Structure 1
Amino acid sequence: MPKVIVLYTSLTGNTEEMAEAIAQGAKETGLDVVCKEAYDAKPEELMEYDGILIGAYTWGDGELPDEFLDFYEEMDGLDLTGKQAAAFGSGDTSYPVYCGAVDIIENKLRELGAAIVCDSLKFEYNASDEEKEQGKRMGRAVAGVLCS
């Protein structure tokens, strides 16, 4: 059975809530799903999963948050070929770059060979009920690709 990891970095809990919604959507398909914070994980763990969903909030002018930088940099050298992936995260539209961390993560996943299987999910501050439903659909979509 395919395994999925939903990995996230959250400061205020907004990205964590979305990670939980995404994980719930994937779990609804019957897959083995792990949801954990990036600081509790090692990049090599990604190799154990068929589906990889990574989320982070955007800091400053479109940057990755400091507490995610080590994990991000340590991803270099991984070969994620054959992995199905997607990115998600929260941001603030008052900044010039909205949800830039999501784009950075998606680009890294692509650079490492992962197939991006659905559009990234960006939301402002705390996700609305509709956005959380989009998160569940993202989880189900990745699971659907893995089970096809």
Structure 2
Amino acid sequence: MNAHVVYATITGNNEDIADIISDQLKKHDIEVIETEISQTDAAELQDADICVVCPYTYDEGALPEEGMDFYDDLQDLDLTGKIYGVAGSGDVFYGDDFNKAVDEYSEAFKSAQATQGAENVKIDLEPMEDDVETLAKFTDALVKAAKK
């Protein structure tokens, strides 16, 4: 079984989240590819059993500019049978726009007919110890869903 973890980051927080998820997946003996969103063609997700995106939300709810092609292309894919999860870092300072990109990417995966394997995870700023536990549970749920 394999997974592709894609991240977009300005501060490094989402790369940290992607690293934690990748490490957790490897503990389940999952082969993992981790890439930065601007260097990733959305079609590459078709080769993975588990697909994860770790986006940031910019300003007042905007998606990462460098990931717009990926986002648009993702919605046009057929990811039937693929398990997906979305986890991202944001800043609660933005109120209703906090981590909006996480929900937007989740909807894009649904448009691509992928199956949600874990609840969306929204982390305030950098991942702390309790967030690492949350991401471990997130990863466990993804693997469990993929093994069904």
TM-score w.r.t. length of structure 2: 0.94
- Distance of 2:75 and 2:40 partners within structure 1: 15
Partner Cα distance (1:128, 1:10) in 2: 17
C-alpha contact 1:57 1:64 (8 A) present in aligned 2: yes
Task: Give me the whole-angstrom Cα distance separating, in 1, the residues matched to 2:137 and 2:32.
Answer: 15
1:104 paired residue number: 104
1:28 aligns with 27
Kept after mapping to 2: 8 A contact 1:25/1:138: no
Query: Is residue 2:5 matched to residue 1:6?
Result: yes
More helix by share: 2
Displacement over 4 Å in runs of 4+: none
Could you tell me which amino acid in structure 2 is paired with residue 119 of structure 1? E
Name the CA distance, whole Å, in 2 between partners of 1:103 and 1:121.
9
Match of 1:38 in 2: 37
Decide whether the 8 Å contact of 1:56 with 1:102 is kept in 2: yes
Contact conserved, 1:24 with 1:136, CA < 8 A, in 2? no
Q: Identify unmatched segments of 5+ residues in structure 1.
A: none
CA distance in 1, matches of 2:56, 2:7: 9
1:146: Cα distance to partner? 1.7
**Conserved in 2, the CA contact under 8 Å of 1:81 and 1:114?**
yes
Q: Distance in 2 between matches of 1:146 and 1:73?
A: 25
Matched residues in 2 for 1:133 and 1:67: separation?
Answer: 29
| Within-5 A mapping of 1:45-124 | 45-96=44-95, 97-124=97-124
How many residues are aligned here?
A: 147
| C-alpha RMSD of the superposition | 1.2
Structure 2 regions of 5+ residues with no counterpart?
none
**CA-to-aligned-CA distance 1:19-65 (integer Å, 9 cap, x gap):** 11111111101111111111221111010001101111110111211
Corresponding residue SS for 1:95: helix
